[in-house]
Structure 1
Amino acid sequence: MITRQPTLRPTALAALLVASGAAAAQATVAGQPVATVVISASADASAEGLTRVYSGGQVARGGRLGLLGNVDVMDTPFNAISYTQQLIQDQQAQGVADVLQNDPSVRVARGFGNFQELYVIRGFAVNSDDLAYNGLYGLLPRQFVAAELLERVEVFRGANAFLNGAAPGGGGIGGSINLVPKRAGNADLTAVTAGIETGGQKVGAVDIGRRFGPDNRAGIRVNAVRRDGGTAIDGESRELGVAAVGLDWNGGNYRLSADLGWQDQELTAPRPSVALAAGIAVPRAPAADGSFAQSWTYSKERDQFGTVRGELDLAKDTVAWAAFGARSGKESNVLTTTTATGADGAAGMYRFDNAREDTVRTGEIGVRTKLRTGAVGHSLSATASGFGSESRNAYAMGDFVSTIATNLYAPRDVAAPAANFFTGGRLDAPVTTSKTILSSYAVADTVALAGERVLVTVGLRHQRIKDFSYNYTTGVEESRYDESRNTPVAAIVVKPVKGLSLYANYIEGLQKGQGAAGAVDNIGQTFAPTVSRQKEVGAKYDAGTVGFTAAVFTTSQPQATVVDRVFGLNGEQRNRGVELSVFGQPLRGLRLLGGMTFLDAEQRRTQGGLTDGNDVIGVPRHQANLGADWDVPGVAGLALTGRVNYTASQFADAANRQQVPSWTRTDLGARYITRVGERTLTLRARLDNAFGRDHWASAGGYPGQGYLVLGAPRTFVVSGTLEF
Structure 2
Amino acid sequence: MRAASAAAEPVVELDEMLVTASADASAEGLRPVYAGGQVATGGRVGLLGSMDFLSTPFSLTSYTQELIENQQSASVGEVLLNDPAVRVARGFGNFQQLYMVRGLPVYSDDMAYNGLYGLLPRQYLAAELVERVEVLRGANAFLNGAAPGGSGLGGAVNVMPKRAPNGAVSEVTAGVQSGGQIYGAVDLARRLAGERFGVRFNGVRRDGDTAVDGESSELALASVGLDWWSDVVRVSADLGWQDFDREASQPSITIGGGIQVPDAPRASRSVAQPWTYSDERDLFATIRTEVDLTEGLVLWAAAGVREGEEENSFANPTVVAADGTSSSYRFDNVREDHVATGEVGLRASFATAGVGHRVVASAAAYALDSDNAYAFSSFAGFAGDIYAPFAVVAPAADFFVGGSLAAPLRTERVRTSSVALADVISFADDRLMLTLGVRRQKIESDSYDYDSGARLSSYSESRTTPVAGVVYRFASRVSGYANYIEGLSKGDTAPATSGGTAVVNAGDVLRPYVTEQIEVGAKFDFGRLGTTVGVFQSEKPIAGVGSDGVFRVLDHQRNRGVEFTAFGEPVSGVRLLGGASFLDTDVAGNDSIGAPTWQVNTGVEWAPVFLPGFVLDGRMIHTDEQFANAANTQRVPSWTRFDFGARWRLDFDDGRALTVRARVENLLDRDYWASAGGYPGAGYLTVGGPRTLVVSGTLSF
Answer yes or no: same fold by TM over 0.5.
Answer: yes
Quote the residue 1:532 is aligned against.
Answer: 515
Task: Rate the CA distance shift 1:501–1:35 in 2: closer, same or farther, 3 A.
Answer: closer
**Structure 2 residue 581 is the aligned partner of structure 1 residue 584:** no
Deviates more, 1:558-567 or 1:138-147: 558-567
Pair 1:440 & 2:423 matched? no
Cα distance, 1:59 vs structure 2:
0.4
Given the alignment, which residue of 457, 466, 479 partners 1:501? 479
Structure-2 separation of matches of 1:305 and 1:57: 29
- The answer as to whether partners of 1:191 and 1:208 remain within 8 angstroms in 2 is yes
What residue is the counterpart of 1:620 in the other structure? 596
Whole-angstrom CA distance in 1 between matches of 2:87 and 2:276: 26
Question: Equivalent of 1:468, from 436, 446, 465?
Answer: 446
State the Cα distance separating 1:516 from its structure 2 match.
Answer: 1.9
* Residue segments in structure 2 that go unaligned for 5+ positions in a row: 1-10
Q: How does 1:534-613 map to 2 (within 5 A)?
A: 534-564=517-547, 565-603=549-587, 612-613=588-589
1:378 aligns with 2:361: no
Name which of 376, 390, 396 aligns with 1:397: 376
**Deviation (angstroms), 1:543:** 0.3
Query: What is the DSSP-based 3-state SS (H/G/I as helix, E as strand, rest coil) of the residue aligned with 2:203?
Result: strand
| 1:276 counterpart residue number | 255
Q: For 1:86, which of 42, 53, 66 is the aligned residue?
A: 66
**1:305 paired residue number:** 284
Mark the CA change 1:452 to 1:32 in structure 2 (over 3 Å): closer, same or farther. closer
1:56 aligns with 2:33: no
- The alpha-carbon deviation at position 260 of structure 1 amounts to 0.1
For residues 16 and 397 of structure 2, what CA distance do their matches in structure 1 show? 67
Aligned to 1:203: 183
Contact 2:214 2:248 in 1 (8 A): yes
> Normalized against structure 2, the TM-score is what?
0.96
Report the CA distance between 1:472 and its aligned residue. 0.7
C-alpha distance in 2, partners of 1:523/1:357? Answer: 31
- The one-letter amino acid paired with 1:239 is E
Give the Cα separation in 2 of the matches to 1:271 and 1:70: 39
Alpha-carbon separation, structure 2, partners of 1:422 and 1:449: 64
Deviation at 1:34, TM superposition (A): 8.6
After superposition, the C-alpha distances for 1:57-85 in whole angstroms (9 at most, x for unaligned) are 10000101111110100100010010000
Q: Which one of the candidate residues 687, 697, 700 is aligned to 1:720?
A: 697
Asked whether 1:126 is paired with 2:126, we answer no
| Cα offset, 1:39, TM superposition | 2.4
1:651-683 deviation per Cα after TM superposition (whole angstroms, max 9, x unaligned): 001111000000000000001000245211000
Q: Structure 2: which amino acid aligns with 1:638?
A: F
Amino acid at match of 1:328: E
Render the CA deviation track for 1:536-579: whole Å, top value 9, x for unaligned.
00000110000111000000000122223433221211000000
Task: Report the counterpart of residue 616 of structure 2 in structure 1.
Answer: 640
Tell me if the contact between 1:40 and 1:250 (Cα under 8 Å) persists in the aligned partners.
Answer: no
Q: Is the 8 A contact 1:686 1:716 kept in 2?
A: yes
Q: Which residue of 1 aligns with 2:241?
A: 262
Out of 193, 197, 221, the residue aligned to residue 173 of structure 2 is 193
The letter for the 2-side match of 1:280 is I
How many angstroms does 1:466 deviate by? 0.7
- On the 8 A contact 2:496/2:507 being kept in 1, the answer is no
- Establish whether residue 39 from structure 1 lines up as the match of residue 35 from structure 2: no
Q: Matched residue of 2:317: which SS? A: strand
- Is 2:311 the counterpart of 1:332? yes
Give the drift of 1:291: 1.4
Matches within 5 A, 1:100-115: 100-115=80-95
Q: TM-score with structure 1 length normalisation?
A: 0.93
Instruction: Tell me whether 491-500 or 256-265 shows the greater mean CA deviation.
Output: 491-500
* Residues 594-651 of structure 1 deviation map (CA, whole Å, 9 limit, x = unaligned): 0000000110xxxxxxxx2110011000010000111023111110000000000000
Distance 2:652 2:396 in 1: 57
Q: Give the equivalent residue in structure 2 for 1:685.
A: 662
Cα gap change, 1:266 to 1:36, in 2 (>3 Å): same
Which amino acid in the other structure matches residue 318 of structure 2? T
Map of 2:163 onto structure 1? 183
Structure 1 contact 73–80 (Cα < 8 Å) conserved: yes
Alpha-carbon separation, structure 2, partners of 1:32 and 1:720 = 47
Kept in 2: contact 1:284–1:343 (CA 8 A): no
- Whole-angstrom CA distance in 2 between matches of 1:523 and 1:204: 56
C-alpha root-mean-square deviation of aligned residues, in Å? 1.2
- How far does residue 283 in structure 1 lie from its aligned partner after superposition? 1.1
- 8 Å CA contact retained: 1:39, 1:250: no
Aligned to 1:153: 133
* Separation (CA, whole Å) in 1 of partners of 2:398 and 2:514: 40
CA distance in 1, matches of 2:576, 2:16: 38
Give CA deviations for 1:74-106 in whole Å, capped at 9, x if unaligned: 100010010000000000000001100100000
Equivalent of 1:650 in 615, 626, 630: 626
Read off the aligned partner of 1:478 and give its amino acid letter. L
Q: How many residues align?
A: 684
CA distance in structure 1 between the aligned counterparts of 2:32 and 2:209, rounded to whole angstroms: 39
1:523 aligned partner, one-letter code: A
Q: Any idea what the Cα deviations from partners look like across 1:103-144, whole Å, max 9, x if unmatched?
A: 000000000010000000000000101000000000000110
* Amino acid in the other structure paired with 2:687: L
- What one-letter code is carried by the residue in structure 2 that aligns with 1:78? F
- Do 1:104 and 1:625's aligned partners in 2 also have CA atoms closer than 8 Å? yes
Indicate the percent of aligned positions where both proteins have the same amino acid: 55
Who is 2:56 aligned against?
A: 76
Deviates more, 1:301-310 or 1:33-42: 33-42
8 Å Cα contact 2:107-2:152 kept in structure 1: no
Encode CA deviations 1:499-540: one digit per residue, 9 max, x unaligned: 110010000000011112362413322111000000000000
**Counterpart AA for 1:576:** R
Secondary structure at the aligned position of 1:50 is classed as: coil
8 Å Cα contact 1:283/1:342 also seen in 2: no
Q: Is the 8 A contact 1:281 1:342 kept in 2?
A: no
Residue from 642, 645, 648 that aligns with 1:666: 642
User: What letter corresponds to residue 600 of structure 1 in structure 2?
Assistant: D
